[in-house]
Structure 1
């Protein structure tokens, strides 16, 4: 497993009496350097191994097409937030 996945943020929340955990992985990349599919696969592997409910990858860049396709196959377990969406969230 790549040591790049180190859980920058761990968030626990309760909903309906059930505790959920989300791992956030933050990638501060140059705008010309996209986050690739390997980061998605590595985070998913950590989620599986540690029995974590969800993961979020946030970047100052964008995601490759392969990364986006991989996430579509994971049934909502991982969310991707790129630079444009991050700016929208900050402005809210």
Structure 2
């Protein structure tokens, strides 16, 4: 699994997924969450929510604000993957 690590608070301080949907293994239980600008702001005040996001196996960048902030802060380009994208992908793959 690919992820974009931002150690030391150099980026958004979240381990954002930067792989493709087809790279997500369906062979084992995986905790997938999404983060967007709004959830990022909520997580700044809600410690339990923040820890849930950080504890995800995969944290999808579900917002252009998150994608742009990560690029601005780290110079690394990641793609937005919305919650509906992963939902459709999982339903399609598991229906095969």
TM, length-normalised to structure 1 = 0.30
Higher share of residues assigned helix: 2
TM-score if structure 2 supplies the norm length? 0.29
More strand by share: 1
